[in-house]
Structure formats: C-alpha cells, structure tokens
Chain A
Amino acid sequence: QAVLTQPPSVSGAPGQRVTISCTGSSSNIGAGYDVHWYQQLPGTAPKLLIFANNNRPSGVPDRVSGSKSGTSASLAITGLQAEDEADYYCQSYDSSLSGYVFGAGTKVTVL
C-alpha cells in the first residue's frame, strides 16, 4: 500500500483539463517536504515532470502545472493531447520512514 494516495485513473477528451491528486500525511507532505511528479510512458523509465511542487524542468510544456497545500498536492494538465497518455506518480520524503515515498500512480487516458 503506497504512502501517498492517488486516484488509479483519470481521463479526458483532447483539449480538456485533467487533475491528479496526491494525498499524504503529517510525516511527509504535511511536514513541509516538497512533492515531485514523474511521467512514465509505457515501457520506459520515469521522467521528472514537476519538481518542488510547482516547477517545470526544461522541456516540459507550460500546460503542465503542480500545486501543493497542506497534506495534499495536485498535478494539472491542460489542453490534453494523445501524447499525455501515461502513468503519473507523485513522490515526497517521509520523516517517519527516513526514506522516499511514491504514490501508487495514476493512469491518464485520452478519450
């Protein structure tokens, strides 16, 4: 059972907006640790999509954004495109585990 909770799947039509939630607790997100998001295309390694809650690495389009509040974070993708079909994972640090934690992942389907 993953420490961070994500919905198993979300879907949207091309051009629409989808959001993915990531809920933690007082020992991880709620303790102030940053949340990072990764995109994993089928058969490939994860790729950093958002770091430190709301920052995009070079090359990630500005239609992808992140936010964090309290014990939760969210990832938003606007102008949904077929290439956005992938699994998305949130990640943070947990002080009670002295280690890093991931969400179980959310599959984004473009209808």
Chain B
Amino acid sequence: EVQLVESGGGLVQPGGSLRLSCAVSGFTVSSNYMSWVRQAPGKGLEWVSVIYSGGNTYYADSVKGRFIISRDNSKNTLYLQMNSLRAEDTAVYYCAAGDYGSGSFANWGQGTLVSVSS
C-alpha cells in the first residue's frame, strides 16, 4: 500500500526556517517524481517544487531561492527546506507522488500545516 506521511510543520516567525519531511512507503521515492503542493487557508492548490528521478529540481517563482527540495534514498523520504519564510507561505503543505506513466500526481499525503506569524 502506498503511503505518504508529512511532518515538520508548525508555527514559525517571519524570516525563520522550517524543514518538512515526507516519509514514503509502498514505492521508491527515487523512482518517481515527487512534488510539494501547498494550499493557503481557504485558497486553491499551488504547486511549489518538484524533484525528478534523475535529481533535477524546479521551483515556483514564489519560492525560488528560498526553498530547497531534496530526498534521502536510504530513508525513502522527501524533504522541503524552507528559509526566509513569509506570512504568505502560511499553508497546508502536501507531498505528492508523480506517475511518469500518466503524468499526474497519483498519490498524496495528508498534509502538514505551516503558519508564519509573529
């Protein structure tokens, strides 16, 4: 059974840092492309970042230069290092597993809430 379990969310002050984790079971994190998608309170889904199986990474303009996506193959875990956090980064952050066959995000975690406030 495929499972994605996020952790690491919480309350952080503007300018602070936080690292999110997404523990994966049921497939190998390095064999799929993996993304972070966020949802601000009462708003829609916003794609944040992707890491492909070959290791290439891409970011939304809104987080470029501040966020870093990575993975640890030995732990089968995806990460999102978030630096210089702003109030507008407040959201539920979901990790999502891409499927190369369909091109869709076939599996999602339950999400972890990040609140940026003083």
Tell me, yes or no, whether B103 is within 8 Å of chain A by CB. Answer: yes
Known A45-B94, A45-B111, A46-B94; contact A102-B47, beta-carbon cutoff 8 A:
yes
Tell me, yes or no, whether A18 is within 8 Å of chain B by CB. Answer: no
Smallest distance from the beta carbon of B106 to chain A beta carbons, Å? 5
Question: With the chains together, A100 CA to B94 CA distance in Å?
Answer: 14
Q: By DSSP majority rule, is chain A's interface helix, strand, loop, or mixed?
A: strand
Question: With the chains together, A79 CA to B4 CA distance in Å?
Answer: 32
| Stretch from A9-17, A19-27, A50-58, A68-76 forming part of the interface with B | A50-58
Known A99-B58, A102-B45, A102-B46; contact A36-B94, beta-carbon cutoff 8 A:
no
Smallest distance from the beta carbon of A108 to chain B beta carbons, Å? 14
- B44, B104, B106, B110: the one contacting A105 at CB < 8 Å is B44
B104: A residues at CB distance < 8 A: 34, 36, 48, 51-52, 91
Question: With the chains together, A51 CA to B107 CA distance in Å?
Answer: 12
The total of Cβ contacts below 8 Å across the A-B interface reads: 69
Interface residues on A, range: 20 to 34
Smallest distance from the beta carbon of B41 to chain A beta carbons, Å? 12
Question: With the chains together, A109 CA to B110 CA distance in Å?
Answer: 24
- Identify the closest chain A residue to B108 (Cβ): A45
B58: A residues at CB distance < 8 A: 98-99
What are 14 residue pairs bridging A and B, where the CB atoms are less than 8 Å apart in the complex?
A34-B102, A34-B104, A36-B105, A45-B110, A45-B111, A46-B94, A47-B108, A51-B104, A89-B44, A91-B104, A99-B59, A102-B37, A102-B45, A104-B44
